Amino acid sequence: MSIDLSSGPQCPIPLQHREKIILGHGSGGTLSQELISSVFLKYLNNPLLEQNDDSAQFELINKNSRIAITTDSHIVSPIFFPGGDIGKLAVCGTVNDLAMSGAIPRYLTAGFILEEGLEISILERILYSMAEAAKEADILIAAGDTKVVERGKADQIFITTSGIGEIPYSHGHISGNNAQPGDAVIISGSIGDHGIAVLAARNNLLGEIDVRSDVSPLNKMLQGILEEGAEIHVLRDPTRGGLATTLNEIACQSRVTIHIEESQIPIQPAVKAACEILGFDPMYVANEGKVVIICSHNQSEKIVAKLKAHPYGVDSVVIGRVDNDHPGKVILHNIYGTTRLVTRLSGELLPRIC
């Protein structure tokens, strides 16, 4: 018995779709492979992705290091904002989370949730941005995954990233538990830039206010300091919840008091103006390219000088000190000689900020 394929209903060959994402791009079939080969690998290709297996294989561990691992999801709205986009944010956010433990970031994975109808040219802009950020941070994107959901079931694109890094034993043990009385508290630059930049891009809510996000990979800047043997006890990036929430987390973890000087905290005039208009406290506004460093007081000047020599740390300054008079508390000293308790953020100040 023979089958005649010359007539009658037949399963059509999938049409190529080069302009917008369709549900078929998430099928795992021909359209998926076309999207991976012609779009994703165009920007992110490297020897690990070329293995084309279900998992990447590589050597990492050696006798002189520990492993750090982290994961994060990114749902920022809008996906493009002054100074960055969701792709750069995804890479830098994960790189910086690794760097806060003193790790040297090595490998990153990325999962993409794409909404049907997303323009492929927009996806390419995001992938290009991710590739540039990964190159700057010297981290390989080793594996990834893509899923497509129907229109209205996502907001264009969501990205989840995981990262693996090595912590040389020479970098010491850096943790939020390690702040000690007598330590100095350093911030690597002005606060609130990212949150206000994203908010300004959201329906042009802030009119002519010109603020760019500080989103950037901080690992190289920190690695240069750690390799010189600096006595750093805590590293933390003040992202959601801002500087105030981050300092409270450290104070609680280490059971210490953190005293900060309001006059020393760097804030851009445009950020301060935007916060005054909106009724925000810049202490609670998100950052994506700043680091809080708590270190031995006698090394603070040397560390600040080293930070200032790097493009991402030119506005670094000592903003406070660690004590043990009120464990678990953060106390702000203002220019009038009075003090107030700084608590952590209790709710959501700016949704969809990272």
* Tokens of residue 292, six digits: 């809080």
Arithmetic mean of pLDDT, 93-122: 97
Residues 260-315: tens digit of each pLDDT:
999 999 999 999 999 999 899 999 999 999 999 999 999 999 999 999 999 999 99
Specify whether the CB–CB gap between 221 and 313 falls below 8 A. Answer: yes
- Residue 84 makes CB contacts below 8 A (sequence gap 6+) with 92, 129, 197, 213, 215, 288
Tell me the domain boundaries of the chain: 23-171, 184-342
Which is nearest to 179 in space by CA: 256, 290, 102, 231?
256
Q: Is the pLDDT of residue 26 over 90?
A: no
What is the rounded CA–CA span in Å between residue 243 and residue 249? Answer: 10
Sheet holding 157-168, edge to edge: 65-74, 157-168, 104-115, 140-149
Q: Which residues pair with 186 in a beta bridge?
A: 293, 318
Instruction: Output 28 or 299, whichever has higher pLDDT.
Output: 299
The pLDDT confidence band at residue 3, using thresholds 50, 70 and 90, is very low
Q: Is the pLDDT of residue 105 over 70?
A: yes
Q: Is the pLDDT of residue 237 over 70?
A: yes
Q: Is the pLDDT of residue 208 over 80?
A: no
What is the rounded CA–CA span in Å between residue 338 and residue 332? Answer: 8
Q: Which residue has the tokens 């990325």?
A: 110
What is the rounded CA–CA span in Å between residue 46 and residue 260? Answer: 45
Instruction: Output 22 or 15, whichever has higher pLDDT.
Output: 22
Arithmetic mean of pLDDT, 196-215: 87
Q: Is the pLDDT of residue 15 over 60?
A: no
Instruction: Output 57 or 328, whichever has higher pLDDT.
Output: 328
What pLDDT, on the 0 to 100 scale, is given for residue 61?
60
Whole-structure pTM value: 0.90
From the CB of residue 45, how many other CB atoms can be counted at a distance below 10 Å? 14
Specify whether the CB–CB gap between 169 and 65 falls below 8 A. Answer: yes
What pLDDT, on the 0 to 100 scale, is given for residue 64?
78
The CATH-assigned architecture of domain 184-342 is: Alpha-Beta Complex (3.90)
What is the rounded CA–CA span in Å between residue 316 and residue 313? Answer: 5
What is the rounded CA–CA span in Å between residue 139 and residue 164? Answer: 9
* Tokens of residue 217, six digits: 């990979």
Q: Which residues pair with 322 in a beta bridge?
A: 258
What is the rounded CA–CA span in Å between residue 272 and residue 235? Answer: 25
What pLDDT, on the 0 to 100 scale, is given for residue 16?
59
What pLDDT, on the 0 to 100 scale, is given for residue 55?
66
What is the rounded CA–CA span in Å between residue 353 and residue 288? Answer: 10
What pLDDT, on the 0 to 100 scale, is given for residue 6?
46
Residues 34-62: tens digit of each pLDDT:
898 899 999 999 888 887 767 677 666 66
What pLDDT, on the 0 to 100 scale, is given for residue 7?
47
* 2-11, 64-73, 250-259, range with the lowest pLDDT: 2-11
Q: Is the pLDDT of residue 2 over 70?
A: no
What is the rounded CA–CA span in Å between residue 309 and residue 218? Answer: 13
> What is the homologous superfamily of the domain 23-171 according to CATH?
PurM-like, N-terminal domain (3.30.1330.10)
